[in-house]
């Protein structure tokens, strides 16, 4: 009975500890706030679709696409998504799953520091991890890497224990667990692979590093444990290469061996920026990544002239060095922030050990408290009086909560420390408030280029548009042209489930479309601090040539801006022969439209097929491997009324309907100067359809970073009516283009002109 009572008390105690950790994490990493700050990438839309397929019994053996080509080696992420979908359908369930995994990270770290340092350092870890800017950043980015937090924290714990535990059996077990955890983690994001290199580096050079190596048997078992989760993927890949495909086929995303070459190209591209800009951005990134208290703790070590015992966390230091390699790539490529997770978590681990080191030294505590208090006063003064961008109320509440929480914890849980270690308690409070300050200070240094609205902002955009027009997302999606928004944004993931209050609608406007820009409020200030006129601002942006020309010539009429802070402005096309009434720049992503699928009705690489009364399907496929994703074409419908003709042209194709080349790094096509020619009254009439249709780097928001920021191309499906009169019958119809460009990440290939024509001499229009 006593044993059962002991067990039950132990279980109850652990339940209460876990609940306490979750409450603290939820307070400082507020799920409601982070939920509203979540952004939506087309990559997450892709992954949720695959999770649904797995949920419905379609086996998948690969993971998300890697940057530049190929897939991550295993479907763990899709299994996690399918589990989340069982509890809560749609993207919200996946977001909750990601947040729960982040909470588990806090629990793993808390238990580790509880056992290796002290209870108060354990609490410090929870608050430190919860307030870390990158923790919030990964949760709101809502990508596959966001679910890797707990795997990275667990891997660091296992690695450190594998080389610092006294018991050999425990060391062996932790080495194997570290390998297995990393093997799972690389199915979520490749950046964690740096830890397996660090782990085996420590094993092979243990004596030089003054570490104790493990026996060969657990090392081989660890290698096997690392490979075990990857075996299903390797089996699937082998059979796919042999032509014996099973499971859901992979998307047309390029070869795996191209991923590293693409990343090398991005590094080269990033180094073309002015060094002054690289330096400024680098300082911002250092500020975002490195915990401010860590700098002060290092200064304490130098000023106190004392040697720190690093044996307890030397493995983490080595992990930090290896993790610096993927992290450093971020300094030359904006997308590489995703590679920073092992590095920033290693920094937090090291900060905890540094804090634990000063607890027994009154000299170190005095030096740290003096410096930290001085810095805290300066930061508080700046926040309260000189930085209007910072949420002052949130700043004060969170810092006050840190003071109260640490004080109550010490008073009730570690009473002895209250009597003997008040200086150290102040050190912890200062370290945590400085870390929290860092998150709020980030609000004052600005964001990186390429704007992507979050959930709250998408709600504002679509509530505003819906209240004016009554349009659903399906009605509106091809009528909205986003200016300087991130090329990988995917509003559809959120807006398909948007709650339209139709009983409240009052239709006030019936425009042809809207210009929308959530960067307008930040980039359109005049010298007096007010907003410049929308039309003046529009003409200064790197918009598609057709739009700029139409605005200058009065062929697009603008209405009033219906947003107070940003740009949501209706427009009407006054000359539809010059520019279509509806145009857009939101890509199809990984789902082919029904029109795109119709291109398969023409089996040849190029050809024309009659698909209805007066309706023809044109098709080309210019890719070397003739993959169906690379097919482009148009549906052309001819309407005749007496002498008047109207020809409707709809340019289609998955590859031409992308706003980002990262969906298919091997082939993202744009038509250059597509045209229609007809023979009318023995004369050939040519109508230019557009300057271009499809993703083009020339319309980038930032010339130094054309592959990850905003882009203002016009993409497919692109529909335009051409009206003309002809006394006699039209005898032929030709659809062509001056050429094409194909973005292949590392190069942009130019393709020759193409055209196809129909002989209409004997054709009678209905």
Concatenate the DSSP letters of all residues of 465-504 into one string.
HHHHH---HHHHTTSEEESSBBTTB-HHHHHTT----GGG
Contacts 24+ apart (CB under 8 A), 508-511: 508/467, 508/468, 508/469, 509/468, 509/469, 509/559, 509/570, 510/469, 511/469, 511/479, 511/559, 511/570, 511/571, 511/572
Cα–Cα distance between 439 and 382 in angstroms, integer?
14
pTM: 0.91
Query: How high is the pLDDT of residue 766?
Result: 46
Burial class (CB in 10 A: 0-12, 13-18, 19+), 364: buried
CA proximity to 446, closest of 377, 380, 387: 387
Residue 638, φ and ψ in degrees, nearest 5: -110, 125
Helices (H), 274-421: 275-289, 292-304, 314-328, 341-358, 362-386, 392-412, 415-420
Identify the top-confidence range among 321-335, 493-507, 512-526. Answer: 321-335
Give the per-residue pLDDT at 624.
93
The least confident of 180-189, 225-234, 388-397, 582-591 is: 388-397
The CA-CA-CA angle for residues 439, 441, 446, to 5°, reads: 105
pLDDT at 3 over 50: no
State the number of CA atoms in the 13 A half-sphere of 263 facing the CB.
Answer: 22
Long-range contacts, 264-269 (Cβ 8 Å, 24+): 265/745, 265/746, 266/67, 266/329, 266/332, 266/333, 266/335, 266/336, 266/707, 267/329, 267/332, 267/333, 269/333, 269/704, 269/705, 269/707
Predicted local distance difference test score (pLDDT) of residue 502: 55
Nearest to 188 by CA among 222, 152, 157, 158: 152
Best CA proximity match to 201, nearest among 290, 108, 320, 309: 320
Least confident segment among 230-244, 267-281, 471-485, 642-656:
267-281
Residue 7 has pLDDT above 60, yes or no: no
Q: Which residues pair with 730 in a beta bridge?
A: 680
Reading across the β-sheet that carries 556-558, which strands appear in turn?
480-482, 513-517, 567-573, 556-558
Per-residue pLDDT averaged across 458-475, rounded? 87
Q: What is the DSSP letter of 531?
A: B
Helices 119-131/392-412 angle, 10° precision: 170
Mean of pLDDT over the chain: 88
What pLDDT, on a 0 to 100 scale, did the predictor assign at position 226?
A: 97
With a cut of 50, say whether residue 619 has pLDDT above it: yes
pLDDT > 90 fraction of the chain, expressed in percent and rounded: 58
Supply the pLDDT for residue 526: 46
Instruction: Compute the average pLDDT of residues 374-398.
Output: 83
> In this structure, are residues 569 and 561 in contact, taking their beta carbons and an 8 Å threshold?
yes
For residue 448, the model assigns a pLDDT of 43
Strand partners, 652: 633
pLDDT of residue 171: 95
What are 279-330's pLDDT values in tens digits? Answer: 888 888 888 889 999 999 999 988 888 777 777 889 999 999 999 999 988 8
Per-residue pLDDT, 340 = 93
Going by their DSSP bridges, the two strands 513-517 and 480-482 should be labelled as: parallel
How far apart CA 653 and CA 598 sit, in angstroms, is: 9
Q: What pLDDT does residue 418 have?
A: 61
pLDDT tens for 571-590 read 999 998 889 999 999 888 89
Mention every residue, 6+ apart, whose C-beta is less than 8 A from residue 484: 450, 451, 517, 519, 523, 541, 701, 709, 710, 712
């Amino acid at each position: 009975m006593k044993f059962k009572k002991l067990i039950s008390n132990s279980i109850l105690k652990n339940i209460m500890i876990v609940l306490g950790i979750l409450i603290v994490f939820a307070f400082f990493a507020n799920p409601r706030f982070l939920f509203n700050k979540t952004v939506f990438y087309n990559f997450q839309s892709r992954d949720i679709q695959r999770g649904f397929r797995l949920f419905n019994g379609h086996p998948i053996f690969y993971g998300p696409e890697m940057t530049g080509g190929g897939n991550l080696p295993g479907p763990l992420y899709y299994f996690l998504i399918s589990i989340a979908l069982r509890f809560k359908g749609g993207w919200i369930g996946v977001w909750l799953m990601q947040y729960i995994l982040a909470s588990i990270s806090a629990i793993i770290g808390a238990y580790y520091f509880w056992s290796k340092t002290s209870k108060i350092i354990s609490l410090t870890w929870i608050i430190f991890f919860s307030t870390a800017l990158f923790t919030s950043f990964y949760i709101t980015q809502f990508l596959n890497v966001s679910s890797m937090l707990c795997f990275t924290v667990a891997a660091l714990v296992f690695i450190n224990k594998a080389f610092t535990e006294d018991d050999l059996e425990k060391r062996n077990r932790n080495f194997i667990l570290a390998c297995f955890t990393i093997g799972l983690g690389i199915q979520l994001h490749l950046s964690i692979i740096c830890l397996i290199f660090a782990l085996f580096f420590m094993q092979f050079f243990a004596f030089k590093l003054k570490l104790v190596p493990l026996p060969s048997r657990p090392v081989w078992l660890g290698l096997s444990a690392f490979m075990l989760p990857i075996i299903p993927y390797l089996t699937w890949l082998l059979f796919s290469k042999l032509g014996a495909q099973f499971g859901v086929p992979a998307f047309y995303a390029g070869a795996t061996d191209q991923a590293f070459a693409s990343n090398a190209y991005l590094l080269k591209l990033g180094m073309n920026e002015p060094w002054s800009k690289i330096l400024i951005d680098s300082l911002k990134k250092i500020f975002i990544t490195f915990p401010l208290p860590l700098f002060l703790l290092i200064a304490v070590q130098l000023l106190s002239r004392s040697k720190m015992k690093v044996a307890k966390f030397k493995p983490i230091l080595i992990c930090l060095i290896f993790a610096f390699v993927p992290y450093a790539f971020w300094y030359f490529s904006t997308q590489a922030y995703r590679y920073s997770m092992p590095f920033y978590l290693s920094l937090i681990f090291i900060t905890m050990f540094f804090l634990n080191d000063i607890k027994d030294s009154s000299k170190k505590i005095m030096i740290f408290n003096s410096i930290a208090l001085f810095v805290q006063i300066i930061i508080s003064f700046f926040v309260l009086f000189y930085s209007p961008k910072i949420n002052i109320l949130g700043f004060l509440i969170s810092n006050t909560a840190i003071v109260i929480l640490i004080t109550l914890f010490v008073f009730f849980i570690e009473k002895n420390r209250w009597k003997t270690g008040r200086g150290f308690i102040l050190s912890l409070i200062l370290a945590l408030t400085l870390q929290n300050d860092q998150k709020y200070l980030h609000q004052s240094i600005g964001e990186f280029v390429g704007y992507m609205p979050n959930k709250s902002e998408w709600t504002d955009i679509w509530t505003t548009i819906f209240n004016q027009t009554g349009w659903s997302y399906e009605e509106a999606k091809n009528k909205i042209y986003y200016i300087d928004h991130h090329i990988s944004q995917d509003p559809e993931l959120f807006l398909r489930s948007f709650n339209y209050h139709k009983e409240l609608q009052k239709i006030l406007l019936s425009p042809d479309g809207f210009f929308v820009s959530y960067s307008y409020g930040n980039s359109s200030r005049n010298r007096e601090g007010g907003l410049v006129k929308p039309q003046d601002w529009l003409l200064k942006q790197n918009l598609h040539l057709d739009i700029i020309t139409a605005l200058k010539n009065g062929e697009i009429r603008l209405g009033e801006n219906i947003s107070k802070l940003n740009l949501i402005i209706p427009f009407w096309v006054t000359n539809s022969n010059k520019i279509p009434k509806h145009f857009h720049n939101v890509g199809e992503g990984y789902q082919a439209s029904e029109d795109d699928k119709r291109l398969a009705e023409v089996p040849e690489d190029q050809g024309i097929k009659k698909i209805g009364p007066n309706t023809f399907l044109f098709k080309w496929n210019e890719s070397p491997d003739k993959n169906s994703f690379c097919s482009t074409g148009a549906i052309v419908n001819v309407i005749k009324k007496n002498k008047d003709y109207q020809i409707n042209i709809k340019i289609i194709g998955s590859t031409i309907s992308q706003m980002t080349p990262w969906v298919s790094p091997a082939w993202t096509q744009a038509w250059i100067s597509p045209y229609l020619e007809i023979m009318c009254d023995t004369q050939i009439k040519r109508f230019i359809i557009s300057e271009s249709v499809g993703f083009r780097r020339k319309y980038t928001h930032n010339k130094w970073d054309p592959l990850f920021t905003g882009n203002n191309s016009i993409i497919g499906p692109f529909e335009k009516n051409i009206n003309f009169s002809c006394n006699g019958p039209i005898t032929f119809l030709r659809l062509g283009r001056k050429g094409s460009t194909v973005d292949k990440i590392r190069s942009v290939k130019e393709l020759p002109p193409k055209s196809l024509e129909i002989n209409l001499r004997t054709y009678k229009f209905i």
